[in-house]
Structure 1
Amino acid sequence: MPRIGQVLGIEGTAWNLSAAVFDDDLITLRSSPYIPPHGGIHPREAAQHHASVMKEVISDALADAGEITGVAFSQGPGLGPCLRTVATAARSLALSLDVPLIGVNHCVAHIEIGRFATGYTDPIVLYASGANTQVLGYLNGRYRIFGETLDIGIGNGLDKFARHHNLPHPGGPAIEEFAKEGSYIPLPYTVKGMDLAFSGLISAAKEADAPLPDVCYSLQETAFAMCVEVTERALAHTGKDEVILVGGVGVNGRMQEMLAAMCEERGAAFAVPERKYMGDNGAMIAYTGRVMLASGQTIPISESRVNPGYRSDQVEVGWRSDTGSIFAGARSGDLVRGAEAEVDLSGDDVVKRRLKKGYRHPHLDAMLIRERTRAEARIISAARRAGVATPVIRDLTADAIIMEKVIGSELKYVLDHTTAEKAGSAVGKLHTAGIVHGDLTTSNMILRDGEVVLIDFGLGQITGEIEARGVDLHVFFQTLESTMADAEDLKEAFLRGYRETFPHADDVVEREHEIELRGRYH
């Protein structure tokens, strides 16, 4: 085992070239950002900037350091030319100092420095940066992705909007300032289970003819509410009780306020790392490199090729000995709180009441409650008429549905090959009827007397579109991958049932694979 002392970390995945030295705490941190003269980041120009300031940045970082025992670098994901420039410098230093080389996943480094800085042990993580928007949690040796953007990262979306209005790069700070003087206007809100899509929102914001402060305000309110909603869905699904926010977009004060409000409503703890650890920085690479070095996770020079598509769930987290909690908050009692509603089980029937969300703008919140309540009742009734097992609707109000009580076990607690196949059969019947669920997780299926009953259709829709069906499968498969050790076998069992009841299953499976590839770095 190598001796653990001071580790040099070099970060340069995109616009910022940064180096730091970490021992038991941060010793030095130096950065030199690349500011494009116009437009967005140009990979080759950013790489040329990194190469031109590399010696100065690293020399400054090492000025107050002692003996270096390892060199860590951002191996990916990121812009290829930038990654290669940093990797070349790291290899040269490791060879000249005769110390181990550590290849660090950039996304995982954000999580680890966040855990270090907040003291949280097993949080749900909202990672919001230029290229990334992901909700993650740890389980059995990997950081699992519960949800992510299916098109652009939130930071890149904000930058696109900023460039359209000739605002400086990065666009987030300028948008935040304009938003302080703005008022709400409706903009598209797109949540697909625990996944998000920002393209429609950004396009609508660019085309809006309202005053710029109003558009900036509403863009933030809408985009951040989407992020907080999917974070809450992951929190409710897993039963974890801590949330941290990481990534450059996370410095936004409004996003922090919204997450804090959500966590307070749920009784969960929330924290944000110090600002110096939020954006891309060498400290997160040095710290993560140090814990990796302590667990023996180094790489030879011959295997140190950069990986622009390096996903966080590909990393073996050998430095953590715990398994991570999952489904820890098993439901008990007559009043149960889900991600967006409170369910009263005390009577002969169930009363599902959608709750006002303190983090959402009142107009947006009221619209979502009204539309989702009506849509859910309509879709449950349509699915039941089509032969899909659902609760029977008794009554409907503006914010609540009174329905049959389904006595059974949530599928996430009893999932095996047999129940997975039954779930696939139920979803196949649903899709045959031209209905998609919209939030197809194992929390929204109940096993009753050997039959899978589908519940919680709040994000559902009546459509025959193959895209929507593909998203349904993608949400379910993503849930399996983030929570189950035998996810692939369960997926195959699900597909056996799905193919038995839906004649166009293979077309949807193919589309689901296309949707998967839209996720970050597939």
Structure 2
Amino acid sequence: MPETGHILGIEGTAWNLSAAVFGGDRIIALHSSPYRPPSGGIHPREAAQHHAGEMKAVISEVLKDPSSIEAVAFSQGPGLGPCLRTVATAARAIAFSLGVPLIGVNHCVAHVEIGRWACGCDDPIVLYASGANTQVLGYLGSRYRIFGETLDIGLGNGLDKFARSKGMTHPGGPHIEALAQKGEPIHLPYTVKGMDLAFSGLVSAAQESQAPLEDVCAGLQETAFSMCVEVTERALAHSGKDEVLLVGGVGANGRLQEMLTTMCGERGASFYVPERRVIGDNGAMIAYTGSLMLAAGQTLTPEESAVNPGYRSDEVVVGWRDAGADAAYARADVMGGGGARGAEAAVTPAGDDVIKRRLPKGYRTPPLDHRLISERTRAEARMIAAARAAGVRTPVIRDVTPDAIRMERIEGTLLKHLLTPEHVYDAGACVGRLHGAGIVHGDLTTSNIIISEGVPVFIDFGLSYRSDETESQGVDIHVLFQTLESTSRNAECLKEEFVRGYATTFSGATDVILRVDEIRQRGRYL
């Protein structure tokens, strides 16, 4: 008798057309036909034409027993519009001919789910690094929430752009990795904004560098990957989770895997990365996620099956996971008498004060690590004093060394454990005072605000800087809003209260909040 209960999955969001059959908790068949442009990058129309021409052959390789197929799943987005439409058309036709349900799968969520299945992890912080997407994700309340993401281009696209400028063929990542192993990393721009990232300045600087190509490739990898690992560690520290999962095509890079392994080892977390055949874009991830969605009753009618090139991972209702599996926050009082360790530093008691010492990071090269520690320690001391002058309560600085600050001990509870409308409103008013004084916090999360005697106290100014620009202020608040969305079921109400408080102390509040919405839109498929 033929096996039953199998799901056919078709992936074709960009350059790789792939199909698979999943069933019985295993990948029955998997076959791919990548589009490789003769020169330059991916042209959406040409990639779609490739997919259309190869569709029959790819499907035939995996669909040996049509009678066993219970549903057809396809990548509904995000991705390149022409490619998505080609795949969706094929999926509709096959589902109709077989008389089975149609399932539209979010490409990003599929990466996460195949990773969880392949590695056996439960509730990880996910670093999703692919061509067009770079995100840090965590699960909360039936959705994958975005802790941080690229504000301009995806990491893989950035690497490909650099590679093309140096005459390398697509995809550029493997060429860069091979050259980097022969070079010494050069200094390049490092842009982390809270848990968000920006790669365009880094790539442009690498393109313009006159250093030997091997050294530029090494610098590009070390800088970009250190940024990704840093924001992953921030999400790990903020959420209290103890697993990290790496997915997406860039995740095949050995150096990135090594850096995440080191970071997780330093934090006592478990690190997972799926095997190469399922870490990049592939039909198995669509088929497997389709099987989860079918069991949860999440199927589509043909009228509902339009593709969505900007389909965000946090828009998907994850009906196949326990909605109660919220983030397990570690309730450490970072400024209290017992001391604690955050993403960047350890805080230890020293009489009536505390000493915050930035910790060396084994995943970063020593020159980069020393530079960041020194720069951030000096910046934090300066900006804490500036924030106090602007009327925002901060710890009083007692002493500063190249890697540590001795400061007043603040007894209280982190805002992330006291997410009441009143406290968030007060925090908004304080941020308004900061922005009014031309201060951008740079790491505005609920882990960096302590409620002490009912008053918000702002800490951790290591990423702060001076700016009166609406863009910079918008990114500041965007970081906070992402934190609220990724950790609270009441995020919309809390954001409204923050805005109310913000507007009471900052005359430019309306323009900044409008910019926050624009910044959020940029996080869609780029």
Equivalent in the alignment of 2:199? 198
Distance of 2:324 and 2:80 partners within structure 1: 32
Q: Does 1:180 align with 2:184?
A: no
Q: Compute the displacement of 1:482 (Å).
A: 1.2
Distance of 1:4 and 1:298 partners within structure 2: 18
Distance of 2:124 and 2:426 partners within structure 1: 32
Equivalent in the alignment of 1:150? 151
Equivalent in the alignment of 1:480? 484
Q: Does 1:406 align with 2:410?
A: yes
Q: Compute the displacement of 1:347 (Å).
A: 3.1
Distance of 2:86 and 2:519 partners within structure 1: 32
Distance of 1:174 and 1:284 partners within structure 2: 26
- After superposing the two structures, state which structure 1 stretch, 468-477 or 330-339, moved more: 330-339
Q: Compute the displacement of 1:65 (Å).
A: 7.2
Q: Does 1:416 align with 2:417?
A: no
Equivalent in the alignment of 2:360? 356
Distance of 1:126 and 1:371 partners within structure 2: 26
Distance of 1:417 and 1:309 partners within structure 2: 31
Other structure's SS at 1:308 match: coil
Other structure's SS at 1:443 match: coil
Q: TM-score, normalised by structure 1?
A: 0.98
Distance of 1:493 and 1:373 partners within structure 2: 32
AA paired with 1:508?
Answer: V
Distance of 2:4 and 2:367 partners within structure 1: 54
Q: Compute the displacement of 1:99 (Å).
A: 0.7
Other structure's SS at 1:394 match: strand
Equivalent in the alignment of 1:223? 224
Distance of 2:324 and 2:275 partners within structure 1: 27
- Alignment of structure 1 residues 61-100 onto 2, 5 Å: 61-63=62-64, 67-100=68-101
Equivalent in the alignment of 2:161? 160
Other structure's SS at 1:415 match: coil
Other structure's SS at 2:447 match: helix
Distance of 1:68 and 1:466 partners within structure 2: 53
Equivalent in the alignment of 2:263? 262
Equivalent in the alignment of 2:18? 18
Distance 1:124 1:434, change over 3 A: same
- After superposing the two structures, state which structure 1 stretch, 460-469 or 267-276, moved more: 460-469
- State whether residues 311 and 524 of structure 2, in contact with CA within 8 Å, keep that contact through their aligned partners in structure 1: no
Distance of 1:164 and 1:371 partners within structure 2: 31
Equivalent in the alignment of 1:448? 452
Equivalent in the alignment of 1:102? 103
Q: Compute the displacement of 1:322 (Å).
A: 4.5
AA paired with 1:261?
Answer: T
Q: Does 1:381 align with 2:385?
A: yes
- After superposing the two structures, state which structure 1 stretch, 424-433 or 262-271, moved more: 424-433
Q: Compute the displacement of 1:465 (Å).
A: 2.0
Q: Compute the displacement of 1:346 (Å).
A: 5.6
Q: Compute the displacement of 1:323 (Å).
A: 2.5
Determine what percentage of the aligned residue pairs are the same residue. Answer: 69
Moved over 6 A (4+): none
Distance of 1:138 and 1:293 partners within structure 2: 20
AA paired with 1:358?
Answer: G
Question: CA-to-partner distance for each residue in 1:236-268, whole Å, 9 max, x for gaps?
Answer: 000000001000000000000000000000000
Distance of 2:314 and 2:299 partners within structure 1: 18
Equivalent in the alignment of 1:507? 511
Q: How many aligned positions are there? A: 520
- In structure 2, which of residues 447, 457, 464 is the aligned counterpart of residue 460 of structure 1? 464
- State whether residues 428 and 501 of structure 2, in contact with CA within 8 Å, keep that contact through their aligned partners in structure 1: yes
Other structure's SS at 1:447 match: strand
- State whether residues 338 and 349 of structure 2, in contact with CA within 8 Å, keep that contact through their aligned partners in structure 1: yes
Question: CA-to-partner distance for each residue in 1:437-472, whole Å, 9 max, x for gaps?
Answer: 000000000111111111100100122222211111
Q: Compute the displacement of 1:492 (Å).
A: 1.1
Other structure's SS at 1:438 match: coil
Q: Compute the displacement of 1:6 (Å).
A: 0.5
Distance 1:140 1:348, change over 3 A: same
Distance of 1:162 and 1:30 partners within structure 2: 27
AA paired with 1:215?
Answer: V
- State whether residues 4 and 67 of structure 2, in contact with CA within 8 Å, keep that contact through their aligned partners in structure 1: no
Distance of 2:439 and 2:303 partners within structure 1: 51
Distance of 2:175 and 2:144 partners within structure 1: 32
- Alignment of structure 1 residues 181-330 onto 2, 5 Å: 181-330=182-331
AA paired with 1:144?
Answer: R
Question: CA-to-partner distance for each residue in 1:259-280, whole Å, 9 max, x for gaps?
Answer: 0000000000001001000110
Distance of 2:321 and 2:351 partners within structure 1: 45
Distance 1:64 1:270, change over 3 A: farther
Distance of 1:62 and 1:492 partners within structure 2: 51
- State whether residues 132 and 525 of structure 2, in contact with CA within 8 Å, keep that contact through their aligned partners in structure 1: no
Distance 1:484 1:407, change over 3 A: same
AA paired with 2:470?
Answer: I
AA paired with 1:474?
Answer: H
Distance of 2:322 and 2:313 partners within structure 1: 18
Q: Which runs of 5+ in 2 are unaligned?
A: none
- After superposing the two structures, state which structure 1 stretch, 325-334 or 503-512, moved more: 325-334
- State whether residues 4 and 293 of structure 1, in contact with CA within 8 Å, keep that contact through their aligned partners in structure 2: no
Equivalent in the alignment of 1:6? 6
- State whether residues 43 and 81 of structure 1, in contact with CA within 8 Å, keep that contact through their aligned partners in structure 2: yes
Distance of 1:368 and 1:52 partners within structure 2: 50
Distance 1:33 1:51, change over 3 A: same
Other structure's SS at 1:187 match: coil
Q: Which runs of 5+ in 1 are unaligned?
A: none
- State whether residues 240 and 328 of structure 2, in contact with CA within 8 Å, keep that contact through their aligned partners in structure 1: yes
Question: CA-to-partner distance for each residue in 1:290-333, whole Å, 9 max, x for gaps?
Answer: 11111111111121111111100000000112423324222167
AA paired with 1:413?
Answer: H
Q: Compute the displacement of 1:66 (Å).
A: 6.1
- In structure 1, which of residues 319, 342, 347 is the aligned counterpart of residue 346 of structure 2? 342
Distance of 1:66 and 1:93 partners within structure 2: 12
Distance of 1:501 and 1:122 partners within structure 2: 39
Equivalent in the alignment of 1:435? 439
AA paired with 2:261?
Answer: A
AA paired with 1:27?
Answer: I
Distance of 1:4 and 1:379 partners within structure 2: 63
Q: Does 1:51 align with 2:52?
A: yes
Distance of 1:468 and 1:84 partners within structure 2: 37
- After superposing the two structures, state which structure 1 stretch, 480-489 or 164-173, moved more: 480-489
- State whether residues 28 and 65 of structure 1, in contact with CA within 8 Å, keep that contact through their aligned partners in structure 2: no
Other structure's SS at 1:345 match: strand
Distance of 2:310 and 2:467 partners within structure 1: 33
Distance 1:4 1:414, change over 3 A: farther
- State whether residues 334 and 346 of structure 1, in contact with CA within 8 Å, keep that contact through their aligned partners in structure 2: no
AA paired with 2:372?
Answer: L
Equivalent in the alignment of 1:469? 473
Distance of 1:21 and 1:174 partners within structure 2: 32
